[in-house]
């Protein structure tokens, strides 16, 4: 006796995202058969074994449990229509699709992501399903993205970066430097900066002026050394920039040399407030797939990198 209904069980299982396969074989009359199955999984590396399970109620169940050979086709991300076709009972499943037969007369469907040609190794009783274990005799693997099935809907693996196969000449676009945090930080910074600098220039400020005003935003005063570190403005050029900003009533300067204290004026803060909102909007667009918790975690981690490299 269980404390959940079969609907609860099905619903909870559907949160486990899977790939989608079509399993094909010949039926008892030697006609081609096939069905959509997401129960496919790997079992053993040596010998190479895979499994899938078929409902005992499926029309093709007696044929699959008697077949000597079968093929598992892992569907590509653009093959959800074929998946639906092979999930309909009694449908003429092989009409209007590209297929041929292999040397064991198993139907082979074209353009899939990968394929495992199997010999039936074992069949186990699994409640209302048969668990069919196959020994893999041959496989084909393309670089196509696989189709995903989760919570009753199809999805794609487009956000998953393909891994470079060792010894392969195929260029998947990824390289070793992509794993280097320092490189990704520099690249992200450069790209974000380029985007926003256009906005700054359109608002009639230079980049050093924007950086200085942004560092003074929130009614803080900063000394020259701190300001140089925050704005990356060349120390030999910053005093000229500051005296021009002082003339333009964007900031006021007190004292001289490295102990100079710089404070934003009201009109300087107004200019920067507008740009600050624009920066925030741009940030929201860039981080569109990130929730607030992830954004804060990224922010804290970046602050850590900055403080650990501050000399
Ligand atoms: C995404 C998806 C995954 C499926 N996975 C399985 C499975 O692993 N085992 C199974 O018996 N049926 C599965 N089905 C249902 C069968 O494809 C469906 O019942 C099919 O019509 C059975 O074929 P037949 O009765 O014509 O032999 C799945 C259906 C879909 C849409």
Centroid of ligand 1 to alpha carbon of 120 (angstroms): 19
Q: Is it the case that residue 169 has pLDDT exceeding 80?
A: no
pTM to 2 decimal places: 0.59
Residues 13, 57, single domain; the answer is yes
In the block, residue with structure tokens 């060349």:
234
Q: Is it the case that residue 121 has pLDDT exceeding 90?
A: yes
Centroid of ligand 1 to alpha carbon of 2 (angstroms): 25
Establish if 50 belongs to a structural domain.
yes
Q: Give the confidence band of 168 by pLDDT, cuts at 50, 70, 90.
A: very low
Establish if 173 belongs to a structural domain.
no
Query: Domain residues for 248?
Result: 179-308
In the block, residue with structure tokens 């900031």:
251
Residues 101, 237, single domain; the answer is no
Q: Which atom of ligand 1 is nearest to the CA of 86?
A: 17
Q: Is 37 in the pocket of ligand 1 (CB under 6 A)?
A: yes
CATH of residue 73: 2.30.110.10
Establish if 163 belongs to a structural domain.
no
Domain count, the chain: 2
**pLDDT at position 13, please?**
93
Phi-psi domain of 292 (left: phi exceeds 0; alpha: psi -120 through 50; beta: other) = alpha
Q: Is 13 in the pocket of ligand 1 (CB under 6 A)?
A: no
Establish if 170 belongs to a structural domain.
no
Centroid of ligand 1 to alpha carbon of 35 (angstroms): 6
Residues 215, 281, single domain; the answer is yes
Q: Are 86 and 36 in contact (CB under 8 A)?
A: yes
Residues 129, 82, single domain; the answer is yes
Phi, psi of 29 (to 5 degrees): -95, 10
Centroid of ligand 1 to alpha carbon of 36 (angstroms): 5
Establish if 84 belongs to a structural domain.
yes
Q: Which atom of ligand 1 is nearest to the CA of 84?
A: 31
Residues 184, 101, single domain; the answer is no
Q: By CB neighbour count within 10 A (0-12 exposed, 13-18 middle, 19+ buried), where does 242 fall?
A: buried
Residues 196, 302, single domain; the answer is yes
Residues 50, 87, single domain; the answer is yes
Q: Hey, which of 188-197, 226-235, 260-269 has the most confident mean pLDDT?
A: 260-269
Q: Going by DSSP bridges, is the β-strand pair 41-44/32-37 parallel, antiparallel, or unpaired?
A: unpaired
Q: Is it the case that residue 246 has pLDDT exceeding 90?
A: yes
> Which one of 55, 77, 83 would you pick to mutate in the ligand 1 pocket, going by the greatest count of ligand atoms within 8 A of its CB?
55
Angle between helices 224-231 and 235-247 (to 10 degrees): 100
**pLDDT at position 181, please?**
86
Q: Considering only CA atoms, which residue is closest to atom 4 of ligand 1? A: 37
Residues 120, 32, single domain; the answer is yes
Of the candidate ranges 84-88, 197-201, 218-222, the one whose mean pLDDT is the lowest:
218-222
Residues 60, 198, single domain; the answer is no
Residues 41, 106, single domain; the answer is yes
**pLDDT at position 174, please?**
62
**pLDDT at position 265, please?**
94
Residues 135, 273, single domain; the answer is no
Residues 17, 113, single domain; the answer is yes
């Amino acid at each position: 006796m269980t404390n959940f209904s079969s609907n609860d069980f099905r619903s909870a299982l559907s949160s486990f995202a899977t790939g989608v396969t079509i399993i094909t074989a010949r039926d008892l009359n030697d006609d081609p058969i096939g069905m959509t199955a997401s129960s496919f999984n790997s079992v053993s590396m040596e010998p190479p074994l895979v499994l899938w399970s078929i409902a005992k109620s499926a029309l093709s169940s007696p044929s699959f449990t008697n077949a000597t050979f079968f093929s598992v086709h892992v569907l590509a991300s653009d093959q959800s229509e074929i998946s639906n076709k092979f999930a309909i009972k009694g449908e003429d499943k092989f009409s209007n699709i590209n297929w041929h037969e292999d040397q064991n007369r198993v139907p082979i469907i074209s353009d899939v992501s990968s394929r495992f040609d199997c010999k039936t190794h074992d069949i186990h009783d699994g409640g209302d399903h048969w668990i069919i274990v196959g020994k893999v005799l041959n496989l084909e693997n393309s670089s196509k993205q696989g189709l995903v099935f989760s919570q009753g809907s199809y999805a794609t693996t487009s956000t998953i970066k393909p891994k470079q196969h060792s010894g392969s000449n195929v260029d998947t676009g990824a390289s070793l430097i992509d794993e280097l945090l320092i490189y990704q930080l520099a690249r992200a910074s450069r790209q974000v900066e380029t985007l926003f600098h256009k906005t700054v220039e359109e608002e009639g400020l230079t980049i050093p002026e924007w950086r200085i005003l942004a560092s003074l935003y929130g009614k803080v005063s900063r000394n020259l050394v701190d300001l140089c570190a925050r704005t990356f403005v060349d120390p030999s050029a910053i005093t000229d920039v500051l005296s021009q900003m002082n003339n333009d009533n964007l900031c006021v300067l007190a004292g001289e040399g490295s102990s100079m204290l710089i404070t934003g004026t009201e009109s300087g803060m107004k200019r920067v407030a507008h740009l600050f909102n624009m920066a925030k909007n741009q940030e929201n667009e860039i981080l569109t797939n990130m929730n607030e918790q992830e954004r804060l975690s990224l922010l804290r981690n970046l602050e850590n990198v900055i403080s650990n490299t501050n000399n």
